[in-house]
Structure 1
Amino acid sequence: MKRLSIIKQPVLSVLNVHLVDYPSPSNINYFWSFGSIAGICLIVQIATGIFLAMHYTPHVDLAFLSVEHIMRDVEGGWFLRYMHANGASMFFIVVYIHMFRGLYYGSYASPRELLWCIGVVILLLMIITAFIGYVLPWGQMSFWGATVITSLASAIPVVGDSIVTWLWGGFSVDNATLNRFFSLHYLLPFVIVGASVIHLAALHQYGSNNPLGTNSTVDKVGLYPYFYVKDLVAWVAFAIFFSVFIYFYPNVLGHPDNYIPANPMSTPAHIVPEWYFLWVYAILRSIPNKLAGVAAIALVFISLLALPFINTSPIRSSNFRPFHKKFFWLIVADTLLLSWIGQQPVEDPYILVGQCASVFFFIYFLIMVPFLGRFENYLIHYKTR
């Protein structure tokens, strides 16, 4: 009776439906834990970001010193800084695995088109948030990365220069730029929270996918206590992995030039973004024309958004799609190759390799996905005759 009275409360009833009694396919594996881990990463980033903002000064003369003040003088400041900086990398690792899992098991297929599209929007918001956050320490790579990336908007015909001036708040990356980037970096995580709530609502409308890719409406169990325990194991393993970076390798995922104060008069030998942007950066710089490069970046996200609508396979899971399974691992390898190319000098043979890898990226999403669906479907009907 006590339990019944609790779940009659409006807020607790919603939590009970979506977090306790939510029916989940009985055969989902640990790859389905990365969605909840992504939620934990988002909470960690928001919490640490709020406390860091209490001591950070968004001014070009004081930003770098305020970060050093946090590291040296604030009680536990080093822990907050390292957790926030490495937490961004952990967030992207988890989200990339989460998306590749969806790609492998066909979680984007009908009727989950909206779910996938919202996930792509969340990825784009994460990239924007992480980029402007990378500018805030106001180190060498922060300043020059902001200068290079924001100037890409100048390639847009007619309004490009006006957009760049608006982004900078003047005629160069300066104090106005840092202030508006700080404001946006504080605001956008809460936008991501809103998008994540919509993402969960879209997921719970049709239920979770499963490794077999079949309709499992008749074989579901409650999220609690069955998958709570499985997720708890994944959370602990992730916490250990995260802690290794915080305590033993806190700077391994960052760039050493960002520990040098920003100097507009000294250009770094090689300007690179954070590692989680490298695959996009490699596609951008593989095209010598600036406007075409910006268009290619836009096409990356258009391709991801279009994926559910150009998919032609009635079978979701790649476990039962032998040809797609091979191409899936090729696109994984291609993305890793692009990430490696993105940190190499802009010279041969890296330019040629990057161009080939970029071409394959678009061939997979725009050509192979619809073609393989029809081809595998044809083989199935041919063999069953």
Structure 2
Amino acid sequence: MTKRQLGLSIYPDHSNFEADRKYLELGHKYGYSRIFMSMLEVSGSPEQTKAKFRKIIDVGNDLGYQTIIDVAPKIFDDLHISYNDLSFFHELHAAGIRLDQAFDGATEAMLSYNPDGLIVELNMSNNVDYLNNILSYQANEPFIYGCHNFYPQVGTGLPYDFFVKCSQRFKQAGIHTAAFVASQVGNQGPWNVNDGLPTLEEDRRLPIAVQAKHLFASNLIDDVIIGNAYASEAELADLANTNRYQLEFTLDLNDQLNEVEQDILFKPQHFRRGDVNRLVVRSTMPRVTYKAVANQPHDNHETFQRGDVLIGNDDFGIYKNELQIVLEPHQDQRKNKVGRIKPEELFLLDFIKPWTKFKLNH
């Protein structure tokens, strides 16, 4: 698996240099390392465009970012760039270009052999045999990346099942992948409509960290990029604190939580048993680790609901101190309710498969 990264988007044709510089510096503080930079519109001569973009790309390079520029065929015409010569983008000091529109396969394959070693990033948001066509022309695979679209208009983002089909084509070929999440405060994008800029429609209004958890949990996305600028510092921090390699659920805790239950919740590396059931997710190792520790019954008379987190109490015999997450409502006084997964994260329970590793926090 490729190391997973976080990224920011900036729009030099709709912003000013100082605001972009401050945003990149703030992102650097929180460990962001990719820049998606839009060049779908150009105002000014090729030299003016080159100077404007290079100035902010150099700031990013000095901070350790990798910048990939989003381009459309019209830009090649406007800037008098040949597909046989990508040196214009190299002179911008960019790491690569993202092709917003497709060519014929042979063109993309040839572009991947550009002498400047620029990454050629492909649009992932189509479930067609586009990638295999390019690879069949013997593309330079280490320089081929994939990145989904974002969708500024509410209601037009990808449905999850379609996203999976598109993404699997790239992941199965071992291609580095990326997708977008939406800031809830950013109002800047490439167009004059901006209802947030996510890849997945169902994620559009979710907290930014939950959106990222969704993308990473799919195991189909390497890099998560904030589509709209400028995200708030709180959003940057929340996303930076998101576990990129395993699901980490955020809990609302019960008041009567005792010391052993605190330890069971937050210390172990939890994993779901391989012999799964429909009632609960079972993390069974705590019952071994904390076998000798007493756990008095409490909060054990209600009907447990999906997303409730339970720990076996002293009346549960061998299952005392086993941790469970409720999938289907039930009652059992041998279990203490110790917390509940936050409502906006409940859908992520669908990603807990046999042997899935997970963490809990609050």
Q: TM-score normalised by the shorter chain: which range applies?
A: under 0.3
Q: Which has the higher strand share?
A: 2
Query: Normalised by the size of structure 2, how large is the TM-score?
Result: 0.23
Which has the larger Rg?
2
Q: Which has the higher helix share?
A: 1
The structure with higher relative contact order (CA 8 Å, sep 6+) is 1
Query: Normalised by the size of structure 1, how large is the TM-score?
Result: 0.22
